[in-house]
Structure formats: C-alpha cells, structure tokens
A and B are shown apart, each in its own frame.
Chain A
C-alpha cells in the first residue's frame, strides 16, 4: 500500500514505463529505456535478483547499444538469463514484470538484438551504430549544415554559380556527435543515416 502511494508520488509505474518504452522502435533502446527508468524510478532494490540483475542488465544493454569492446551474442544470452531469473525469483510484481518484459522482448526481437551485436540498428535509434552521411546527388551545397554544426564535423565549400571545382560536402565521422542539427536544416534531405553490419576484422 505504502509503496504504491510512494510510486504515485514519484510518478512512474512499471506500466507507464512500458508505454513510454513502446514509443521507441528499436528493441535495444526499448529495453535500455525500460531498465534505466525502472532503476531510477519504481524499483525498490531490496531483493537481490532485481537489485543486482537490473544493474547488470543496464550495463549489458549499454554495451550492445554502444557497440562497446567485446560485445557478443553472449550478452544477449546473459540478458535473457537475467530476465528469466528476475521473473522466477523476484519478490514483488514490479520485479517480475520487468523480468518478463526483458524475456519477451528478447524472444520476440532476437534477430534485431543479434544485428546490434553485429553493428546494425535497423531503426537507426542507437546512435553509436549509425553514421550521418551526405548524399552528393541531393546536396545543393547551400552550406547550411556546415554553419549549424557545432563540432565542425562538416567540411565543404559553398557552391557559387560562377565557380567550379569546389570541395564536395562531407561529414567527418570522427568529429560527428550525431546531434542531428544538420538534419533539421538541410533543405533537400541530402543527409542520410546509415547503419550496416560491421565486417569483423580478423587478424591473420
């Protein structure tokens, strides 16, 4: 009873979080949002499978969504295990629901999770897995994107009717923070997001 009241005051319930998470398309982002919001919101953190399991799950989800070193399909297995154990062993409904959410999500979107491990986010929501590129066929060299870029990540030269041989527009990936400002100002939609499976480099 008291806990319910407390949750109300704090605002979010597990249901709210689920609804909010559903507004995301990417399964990994959904899971990450759910777990993060759960940990900082309705989780009481008293029993171990939930308190410690969510901590680990969050770390693993960050690893997958940011494509950190060592990411592999084992991370997906671990997430599934955490979900299952939380479902079985958590004391309260909140923990069980969170566990069930994880299990269901991973079961239904296993393919998508695996793509993430390989470096691809099909809904282009995991910013570490996408690149901003300029399609030269659409670019009219208006320079608006270069002006708005706070990180000087865009190079190129404004096109002038009397000048030829100018520098084409390009995004320097190293500097790009994927903030999305350039997308907003491009009049022709020449800036595109791409994501693709990273070929594994195998040292021979």
Chain B
C-alpha cells in the first residue's frame, strides 16, 4: 500500500494511502467520521448511516465506510445535511437507551455518549422507549444487557467472522435485539467466551462480567503486552488500576485478522494473585514446604548446584522471555557448567525447524495452507490461529487444509484433503513440478510414483495463482511442507508455547541431555523453570522449581523459588511469525517474586560469579541468525507429534484452577 492519492477533505488537500475507505483515510489525517456499525478491517455495511458524507459531483450522500478514496475526490464530512442526519439517528438511539452515564461503566469510551455530546443532545427529543429485556449474567465472563444495545451489529459480525456465530439479530426495527440461538444463556449456546464482542461493543450492552465499580476507562493505566499462554502469542492491552490488572483486551494492529484473544488470554489474570501463587521462597523441611527468605533459599540451591555441577539438569518452559532465556543459558554454562538444558519446546519441535521457520505477514496473504494443524477455538487449541484463519477466509483468502483426520477448520477450506500428510504433500509437490516448480533430482525422484487427484490439481493451481502464500505447518511436518513453499510464499512452523522460537534463538538448544531424558531419567539436581508440562517429580536428589504458581510439580520440590508472571517483568519474545514483540511491566511483582533473570543473577553471585545484566543488544545479537528455506525430507517427525489440547491445558492448569476459567472447566468443559 505504497501508493497515495490526493483528496480534499473538508477543504484540506491531503495525501492518503490508496485503497482505503473514506473512514480510514480521513482517520490518517486526523478527521473523524462518526460511525457506530463500522468495524475496521471488515467490509462496511452502512447500517447506522452516521458515516454519510457528501462528495462533490454526487447527488446524494454516500456511506464513508464502504466508499474507497479516489484521486481528486472532494469530500465534505460535516455538511448541514449529513450533520442533521447524524443528529437524527443519535437522537433516535438515545430514545431507547438508558440515560445513566453517571454510573455507566462504559462512560468515557462510549461512542453514543461521545456523539450525544458532539451533537448537544442532553436527552432524546423522541418518545422514550423501554423494553424490559432481561440481562444475561449467568456466567463470570460476559454480561449482556440488551437494554443498552443500540443494534449496531458489531458483536454479531465479529462473532460470525471468526466462525463462532453465537450471536444474531432477532426481529426487525426497534423491536429487534441481539440474541443467541433460542435465546439461551451464553454457556448453552456454544460460546467460547473469547470476548471478541466485548472489544467491539460501542456501548454498555456487552461488558466484562466483573467490571462494575472496578474503575472506568480514564482511571486505567494501559500497557501493551503479549499473552504467553500458548503458541499464538497474541497482542494484548492490559488495563490496570491500583497496581492490579482490571481487564485485558485484544491488542495489536486495528483491523488485523490477528486481533483476537481467547478466554484464557482475557480472563486468566485472576490467577496472578490467586490462591496458589507463590509469594515467598519455600524449602522442604521435615517433609513439608515452608516459607523462607530469599537468602536462605538461594544459599541452599547454590550449595546443591555447586555439588552437582554438570550433573545438573535444567528443564525450562518455552514461554519464558528472551532475557530470561539468555540469563539461564549463561547461568547454566558459565556458573553451573552444564550443557543439560532441556526445554519443553523439544517435546513438539526440532530446534532447527524453529530457526528455519520464516517471517510472514498474514494480513497480506491471499492463500493459506494448513499442514497437520488442527486449531480449534472450541477445543481451545491455538484458538487465535483458528479465528485468524477463519477471518482470512471470510475476507476472501483461500484455504487449503492438509490433515490426517477430519478437522473442523477443514469445513471452511477451499480444498480440504484428508489422508496421510506426507503422501498428500508429495502429490502436491509433483503437481507443482508440472506447474513449473524447479526441484532437485532427489525430490523429483521421491515424488515420481505418486498419483495426482483432482483435489491435488486444484490445490496446485491455487498455489500457482496465489500472490501471497503462507504455509502454516506443525513442526513435525515442517520439513515436508517446506517443499511446497519452495515455489513461492513463506512457511512458518506453529509451536505450542508462546516464545518457543525466542527460547531457541537465545541458545536453549539441548546440546546436552534432552528434556525427555532429564524428565524421565532425572539427574542429581533438577532445576525446573516456568510452567513445564511435567506433573511428577523426576528421579533426582534435589528438585528446584522456579515458578509463579505452586504447580503439582512444585508441591514435590525441595525448594520453590517464586518467579514473576509475564505481566510483572518487561522483556521480549519472538513469536511464531518471527516478529520480536515487547512485553511491558504491567504490574509490580506479587509478593517477593522475582524475574527468572534476577534469580539467576542472584544465584550466580552467591556461587561466586558475576552475571552481567541482560541488555537489549544481547537479545539482538542472539536474534542474528540467518536461515534459508531448503528442500526438506518427506518425513513426519513422529517423535514431535503431540496432543496439543492436552499440552496446552497441562501447562496452564494452575492458571485455570486459580481463576474464573475454572468455572469454564467445570460448567461447560474446556473442550466443547
């Protein structure tokens, strides 16, 4: 979108990017065109009629949300005619909306309030209408109050676009309202409680269930951060008040298909100071874990580590921050002097594959190929990926799904091929060779004997015709799938943990004993860092667990060191699409918890080594790995084929059990 066009808005001659609609174009030069039903990134529907503008040369006003800018266009956004229409519509909406801004939680961010102010409407000049619809507040996540609803339809549309389709309109005119199927409460209507509707509701009709008197928008401090509960690493905006997280919204680029967070990402924050949060170091005495001081705990750990030396095994989760990973690497190699750092990343991916995984811009893609991935918002397996792909499909991208078993995402695919993945990929590559793909003799030999079916032909044609191809592959099939991306486009391996790629880039690469080996066979001292998917104590003399919560594993530890959650320390990660992402320090660490890096630095000091503070340039240096797409082998790495649903639930079990997500687990189950 490098092209610009010259247009005149309200007498100002400006240059705006070509291809935008008038609302977005005007926004780039600081002119706001009122709207209620417009959703950035989606096609304008022109229902609210607030965005009507007048264009010179056209007889009637047009809707700005669905009119693209054209060179030389002369637009008037505030003529008497359109202002009167806007005032009329706001006036009408006000006649059916409670006038209780003084106690309304949405005051300050409510679009209706904003426009009522702009058009000087203290109250409606029309007849007051009250309907007495009941509020749905039978769940701890989303409160729906139809009395406030202005029927803009944003929630309905966002829910449909991401494929959940829980909400819809019933009735017409002033008697219409937004309901679920059969008007059931949300938990009985297939809702996943992702809360996308909360992010788009312009008024108080959809609200986080516990928001009442938890502060209003202007009281919040807002932080951009990233959710690290699964491999999607979604952008979030965290609102805090009095150093407590009050709510989490989806972050990132407005209008992007990636702007989504799931129920975990939006509601896990109860667990930050939940019951099982470890606030002070603990050590085992007479068989029981008792609280102790940092000095004492670190001294005990240091002693053991010194004794064990290279017989120590580190087990680390793939969602710690880059800085923590570097500190761990240095601590292990320079201080403890062991190579045994096993990361849970190695359970589902070859480290080399994550390094070869490329950078992509999903918003530009016009063809997506899913290889061996079964994302599902309902199963809570990479829900953001599922939502993203469905939204892409709804925005006219094509989708090819290659999987061993029938998948739900396959239902929306242009081509859905079920069967042995390797064999399917081979066929596609053969078809691509026919379409002009150049490969080595070896690959040609490999695919020589496979048959090409109609579906394969169709898929190959799509690949050939695409402009921006993105292949999303499970790590286990990355090697084989990368042959498809040889022709064009880019390929990305989708890991299960939030900073899997970052952790690998920072040098956690299992040069010594592997995670599996350490977890199974143990070592003299086992040092577990973060939420690893391990529930029982490995065979070891001494178990250190460094985590924010008292997990099953931590309960069996000899020393528990309280670490911070990813909201309590600033840092960076590298997401699966290869982008460096920043996490802010959203709140102060709970209790005496410390970041992983600080704990390692302190431990090193006690053990007689000074570890330098990790800086940005350390991370940058580690990031500097060049990788090239190469021909891959046609094999499925069975060893790295894991059950994603179990893995994600296992890693997040303490968070689920310590927040309102427990309700979700108990009332409707986590895998609907």
Contacts and interface: CB of A to CB of B under 8 A. Distances in A.
Interface of A: 39, 43-49, 51-56, 59-60, 63, 78, 81-82, 85, 88-91
Contacts of B45: 46
B126 interface: yes
Contact of A39 (B48, B50, B89, B173): B173
A89 B85 contact: yes
A52 B61 contact: no
A155 to B, nearest CB: 38
A43 B172 CA distance: 8
Contacts of B295: none
Given A39-B173, A52-B93, A88-B85, A46 B47 contact: yes
Interface of B: 45-50, 52, 60-61, 81, 84-85, 88-89, 92-93, 95-96, 125-127, 129, 151, 171-176
| Closest 7 pairs between A and B when the two form their complex, measured CB to CB | A45-B172, A55-B174, A52-B92, A45-B173, A85-B88, A89-B85, A51-B173
Label chain A's interface by main secondary structure: helix
Given A56-B126, A60-B127, A78-B126, A51 B174 contact: yes
Nearest to A59: B127
B81 A88 contact: yes
Contacts of B50: 48
A54 B127 CA distance: 12
Label chain B's interface by main secondary structure: loop
A52 B176 contact: no
Nearest to A45: B172
A89 B174 contact: no
A17 B84 CA distance: 29
Contacts of B47: 46-48, 91
A51 B49 CA distance: 11
B125 A78 contact: yes
A44 B85 contact: no
Contacts, number: 79
B127 A49 contact: no
A91 B172 contact: no
B89 A48 contact: yes
Given A81-B88, A85-B84, A89-B52, A52 B174 contact: yes
A43 to B, nearest CB: 6
7 contacts: A43-B172, A46-B45, A48-B50, A52-B96, A52-B173, A56-B92, A88-B60
A124 B60 CA distance: 40
B130 to A, nearest CB: 12
A183 B173 CA distance: 39
Contacts of A54: 173-174
B46 A47 contact: yes
B49 A89 contact: yes
A52 to B, nearest CB: 4
A53 B173 CA distance: 9
Given A39-B173, A56-B95, A89-B52, A51 B151 contact: yes
A41 to B, nearest CB: 10
Contact of B46 (A59, A78, A91): A91
B173 A85 contact: no
Contact of A47 (B49, B81, B125, B175): B49
Contacts of B173: 39, 43, 45, 51-52, 54-55
